[in-house]
Structure 1
Amino acid sequence: MYVVELSLKLSPMPVAVQRKELADAQALYGQVRQALEGTGPRLLELTCEKEEDKRISLLTSEVVAVQLYEKSAVGSGGKRPGFSFEG
Structure 2
Amino acid sequence: MYILELTLKHTALPLSIQKQTAEAAEAAYGEISKALNSGSPVMVELTCDKQPDKKLAVLVSELAAVQVYEKSGSTTASGKAPGFFALAAE
Asked whether the 8 Å contact 2:18–2:50 carries over to 1, the reply is no
In the alignment, structure 1 residue 52 sits paired with structure 2 residue 49: no
**How large is the Cα RMSD of the aligned pairs?**
2.3
Return the alpha-carbon distance in structure 1 between the equivalents of residues 40 and 27 of structure 2.
22
**Match in the other structure for 1:75:** 74
Post-superposition offset of 1:50: 3.6
Matches within 5 A, 1:8-87: 8-39=8-39, 42-72=42-72, 74-79=73-78, 80=80, 81-82=82-83
Return the alpha-carbon distance in structure 2 between the equivalents of residues 3 and 52 of structure 1.
14
Return the alpha-carbon distance in structure 2 between the equivalents of residues 30 and 44 of structure 1.
11
Identify which range, 46-55 or 57-66, moves more after superposition: 46-55
Return the alpha-carbon distance in structure 2 between the equivalents of residues 75 and 26 of structure 1.
21
Post-superposition offset of 1:39: 2.8
Return the alpha-carbon distance in structure 2 between the equivalents of residues 28 and 41 of structure 1.
14
3-state DSSP of counterpart to 1:66: strand
Structure 1 stretches of 4+ with a deviation exceeding 3 A read 50-53, 82-87
% identical aligned pairs: 41
User: Greater share of helix residues, 1 or 2?
Assistant: 1
Structure 2 vs 1, CA of residues 21 and 9 (structure 1 numbering), >3 Å: closer, same or farther? Answer: same
Name stretches of at least 5 consecutive residues in structure 2 with no aligned partner: none
Q: How many residues align?
A: 86
